[in-house]
Each structure stands twice: as structure tokens, then as C-alpha cells.
A and B are shown apart, each in its own frame.
Chain A
């Protein structure tokens, strides 16, 4: 059994979502010319957004369940895959317009992917400008057991550990849904803490800094202490930066614990207990000995979750494990760690 924890169905255009939208918002979109909300986090034609062999002759990749089954589920042999739609609905400033699109996106994913393809599951997409509406959307989607987690973008207006976001984590725990942060931003802040860089390469790289800031925020604000059963999943985050970040937080936690007296476990313990990372992209060395040392630095064999990041281009061919991962660890990453993270998949595994 293998669970692919990060694949991306693509929305062709806003018209594809219109059937899932009340008449008022459909008309509003047509009148105002809201044709597309594709996020600048993944511009269509960059080599990263779609691997060459998964890029259709025209239009966007991964727009149908059949395509995903043929290009991803069948060849990689995954029994389950989790759809994380990255259409830029979170960037809309009007809360009402945003939630018309958020709801339509979640319903589109269910109708177009989960219904026709029993191997697919989905994350619940929410926008963060209105937390009450986010919680309402989680409540609306959670009864469908094929909704297996809550999806946020890593780039946000405020660090996600802050208490204004805690109702989302409360809802997550209530429904046994992990909270995932995926690469990408709602553009409420510049891509880097030094402003807007010149190149897309820098935009994409800046996700790595955002993941580090967010993990630090979750730790410092005490989210893991308040919600000890919450699972935080970082998707398309890379993972070789994790040990050095944990060591640095530990350094300052030792000196500044007076600021965060609620932190009841060390950063390393908290990551082992409650934080998981998708396998791709592997931001690591090619030397298998170094890979083995890095896995040792992570301090647990339960932290990595199998992912292809389909149709993004992160690896060539079929091999997404670099040398250095032994067979028993690969089995944990493919099956055991995802099942332990996504309790809603337990039925599917039986």
C-alpha cells in the first residue's frame, strides 16, 4: 500500500467553478471579467509548475480525475492520493467573493475528482481573512470522510501560530483533520522579508523561509501545547532545513523561555510528536551517507510522508527516493507514517 500525500488537480479557469457557485457570484464573475485566479506562486509555463511529460499540448495539466489516474496513480501504484488544489482563491480580498470561490473549489474537487475516482481524497481549502467563515467551511466539508485535512498556504498575512487562527486548529482537532501548510502565498506579504525579489526562482525559494517562520510561530505561540493531538503537515516544504531550525529554536528557547512559558516540550520533541513533512521536493545531497546522517538528525523515522507533488516537476522518471533510504524506511514513508497522520484513511487501509 502506498499513500501519495501531495498531488495537485488544476482548475482550468473560473468557468469550471461556475456550476458550483450561486447565480449571483457567477453573474458577478462574468460581468467583471473574472476569468482566472491562477496564482503567481505557480505561473503556468515555468518548468516547475508541470513536468514536461505531464504537460498537455494545450491547457493546464491534471484537470481531470482520469488524467491523474493515468499519469500518477497507476504508474506510481498509489492506493490513495490526497488532492491539494492550489487555485488562487485565497488571494481574493473580498471575504464574500473569496468564500464563493472557496466553496466552489471544494465542491468542484469533490464532484470532479473524488466522485469518479475512489482512490482520491481531498484537503479542505480555506481563506484566512475571515476565520469564522473558514471554520464554517471546515464544518461544511468535514462530514464527508473523504475530506482528510485542512489546507493553508504557507505564505500568510500573520504568522499562523497567532491566536486569531486558533479556531481553525480547534475545528481540525474536533474532526481529526491534520492542518497542512503548502508552498505558495496569499500575497498579503512580500515574498521575502527583504521585499520583492527579481526572479521567480527566488519567489519559489522563499517558501523555505516561510515554512521556517511558521514552524517557529506554531512552537512559540504554544499551538502544540494547547492542541496536543493536532498534526501539522508541511507540504512541498523540503525537510533538510528542519534539524538546523529545531536546533536554533532550541538555542533561543533555552535563553528566552520566559517569553513562552507555556512551551512544555522541547522543539525536537514537538516536531517528533506533531509535525510531518512531504518527501518531495528532496532538498538534499546525492551522497547516500549524507542522506543517512540527515535522517539521523531528524530524530525519528515517522516524519516523512510519501509524495510525488504531481504534476509539479521535482524529480525525473519514477524514482523519488534518493539513495540512502533503506527498504524499511521507504515502507514507513509510503504507508505507515501517512496512515498514522491521516486517521481518516484508516478505513481505506483495511
Chain B
């Protein structure tokens, strides 16, 4: 089995961050600057800054990823170039900033922060590094404002997808969010749905767990609920051309989800006559996945079954740089795979989905 050395790898999940929120001020009005300094950005969670479950390390990021010039991990383009793009032969990287902007309760504030964050991505990252592309962050709890944000940037080559977080306050396919999907299709952009966010509900449907470990494992289940909602509400029936990318949610659960959903659908289809295809047919047509974090079965070859069953054309490499559970492209496929499949996974699928 050859292991061809690939260059120009596509990394579909990179997390740039601000040194401080003041970095966004060039694109915020005086009023929002003062507002943020006084009240912060209200979210559906308990701490002024940080997450409900404390991460395993500061900023959930690699301890070796602090830039030499200071600031948090992921805040320096120069260091990201060296430590990620050059070292791992990344030729195409997608930025998914998880900076406080989406999911802010004051919807006008959320919209202002998202607009600023999009300027910041385009003007301080993509404009200075041709290997990088940005995601349009939208204030998704205000779908009309989100659609407006998508239309504002549509056609701008710096942006290759619309970014939502997985923990929406209503199931992700709920009709209230449909303006977002419509605007994304009109702009020719995939909708990436990245794990995390603060829905206002407990992080599981059986209440708040005790541990960060459970929150991290649970991103898979939350994304399952979001995906089921997208399918069952008929989002893919309404927009057959919509591409959805599930980011950092795992994918080995997808075959089981499709079998189970088809099984339940066959019994309960009279409830959802708006679905013209089997649920699994929508999933196979409209959904892609990023790879990190890759599961760890006792026998690594079991992963090959999952790649084969879901399809090598549906899974795209992602590193999650600079987060602690980073996957190294040289080590991520630890089982036999053909050069053709590896090229799809590391390069080809992202070119197809993002038009790179």
C-alpha cells in the first residue's frame, strides 16, 4: 500500500481568534464598542467569558501553539502559516472563527459582531494569505439578518461557506431558519455547521452532564438531532442543491443514523408526506462531513468500514488547529487506504464542495 506524500492538502476546519475583542473595533460603531465594554455579549450561558464546561487546557488549544509574539493560540497569521500551513503542506484552509458573535442574545449586537468578524477574516487573514478562505459567520438566531449578511458577502471570493454552530435554539431544520438556507443556495455557498454554541437547552436531552468529556462526546448526538431536523423538516426537499457540511461532529455515526431514520420513516411516513425520498437519500445527496476528531476503535480497520459505508467522497480532512484534539494529516489515516481515496479525502472532496 503506497502512502503517496500529498501536498496542497485542504484543511476544512481552522480556528483563528482575536488577541482581544478590541481587534474587531475598526468595524464596529462607537455605540457597539461602548455596549460591549459595558455589558459584554450576552449568551445563553453562565460565565461572562469562556464555556460552561472548562476545557482541558487554556482556550481548548495546544500548549505549543502560543504565538512567539504573544496572544492566544490561533491569533497570529505568521505563526499559523509556519506551524500549520507550511509544516503540514496545507494548500487550502477554511477559517471557522468561534469568536463571540453568533448566538449573542441581543440580536442587533449579534449582527454587528458578525459583520465585524467577517471584515476581520477577509481583511486581516484572507487578504494576507492566499491559502486561506473564510466562512460567513451569521447571527443565526435572527434568520432574516443572517440572510442579509449572506447577501452582503455573496460573490466575495474570500468566503466559501456560511457558518452556523450546531447548538441552535430550535432544531436546526425548523422553518424559522429557512431564510438562511435559501440565501446560502442563492449565493452558491455550502452551509457549514460546526459543533458548539449555546442553545439555551441543556447540552444533552437528558439534562446537564458533569464532565467536559461528556460535552465533547455529546457533540455527536447534538449534531445528529440537527441533521434529523434538516432532513425531516424537508430542507433538502425544498433546496435540492443545498450542501451542508457537518464540522467537528464525528461521522462514524452516520451510517447507523441513516439506517435507523429510514427504518422509522418506513413506519411513520404518513406523518411527513412532504418527504419524497428516503431520509438516507437526502443525507447522501446533501451532506458532507469533516474528519476531526477521528474516533479510536480498538481495531483501526473498523474505521475503514465507516469510510467505505459513508463514502470516501463524503468526508473531508480537518485539523481543528490550534485546538488540543488536533489531527495531523500525516497520521490520521492509520489503516490501509488507496491513493485515490486518500486524494479525495485530503484534497478532492473539498475542491468539489467549496469549488476550491
Please report A residues at the B interface, Cβ cutoff 8 Å: 46-48, 154-162, 185, 188-202, 204-206, 208-210, 212-214, 216-217, 220-221, 238, 240-241, 243-256, 258-260, 266, 268, 281-285, 290, 293, 296-297, 299, 313-314
Contact = CB atoms under 8 A, between A and B. Distances in A.
B7 to A, nearest CB: 28
Contact of B261 (A162, A205, A299): A205
- 7 tightest Cβ-Cβ pairs between the two chains A and B: A247-B295, A283-B260, A244-B252, A213-B204, A209-B221, A192-B225, A240-B256
Contacts of A200: 268, 271
Nearest to A217: B209
B225 A213 contact: no
Interface string B295-306: 111100010011
B305 A208 contact: no
Given A189-B205, A194-B222, A255 B267 contact: no
A225 to B, nearest CB: 14
A90 B167 CA distance: 28
Interface stretch (B31-39, B212-220, B343-351): B212-220
Given A194-B169, A221-B210, A216 B218 contact: yes
B205 A250 contact: no
B302 A194 contact: no
Interface string B240-272: 000000000010110111011101110110111
B170 interface: yes
Contacts of A190: 201, 205
8 contacts: A189-B205, A198-B229, A216-B218, A220-B214, A250-B295, A252-B293, A285-B255, A299-B298
A192 B230 CA distance: 13
Contacts of A251: 293-296, 325
Interface in B153-197: 167-172, 174
B309 interface: yes
A201 B232 contact: yes
A201 B297 contact: no
A130 B28 CA distance: 52
B268 A157 contact: no
Given A194-B229, A217-B214, A255 B224 contact: no
B220 A195 contact: no
Contacts of A205: 228, 260-261, 264
A157 B207 contact: yes
A46 B268 contact: yes
B226 A256 contact: no
A259 B212 contact: yes
Contacts of A256: 56, 211-213, 216
A241 B253 contact: yes
A213 B169 contact: no
A201 B256 contact: no
Interface of B: 56, 167-172, 174, 199-214, 216-218, 220-222, 224-226, 228-229, 232-233, 250, 252-253, 255-257, 259-261, 263-265, 267-268, 270-272, 293-298, 302, 305-306, 309, 324-325
Contacts of B200: 195
A197 B233 CA distance: 9
Contact of A194 (B168, B211, B212, B213): B168
A47 B221 contact: no
Nearest to A281: B263
B221 A213 contact: yes
B309 A290 contact: yes
A204 B225 CA distance: 11
Nearest to B221: A209
Of the listed residues A249, A251, A313, the one surrounded by the most CB atoms of chain B closer than 10 A to its CB is A251
Given A216-B214, A268-B298, 12 more contacts: A155-B206, A189-B205, A194-B229, A197-B228, A202-B229, A216-B213, A217-B214, A244-B252, A251-B295, A254-B296, A259-B211, A281-B263
Given A205-B264, A247-B302, A220 B210 contact: yes
Contact of A47 (B167, B260, B267, B296): B267
A250 B297 contact: yes
A197 B220 contact: no
A293 B270 CA distance: 33
A133 to B, nearest CB: 20
B252 A247 contact: yes
B209 A255 contact: no
Nearest to B300: A247
B214 A47 contact: no
Given A193-B199, A195-B169, A245 B209 contact: no
Contact of B206 (A156, A196, A220): A156
Contact of A297 (B204, B205, B260, B302): B302
A158 B202 CA distance: 10
B207 A252 contact: no
Contacts of B218: 193, 212-213, 216
Given A202-B232, A244-B250, A159 B268 contact: no
Contact of A252 (B217, B228, B257): B217
A249 B205 contact: no
A283 to B, nearest CB: 4
Q: Which of B206, B253, B271 has the most CB of A within 10 A?
A: B206
Nearest to B303: A247
Nearest to A153: B206
Nearest to A157: B207
B213 A260 contact: yes
A247 B301 CA distance: 12
B296 A247 contact: yes
A243 B221 CA distance: 14
Contact of B205 (A192, A258, A284): A192
Contacts of B224: 208-209
Contacts of A259: 56, 211-213
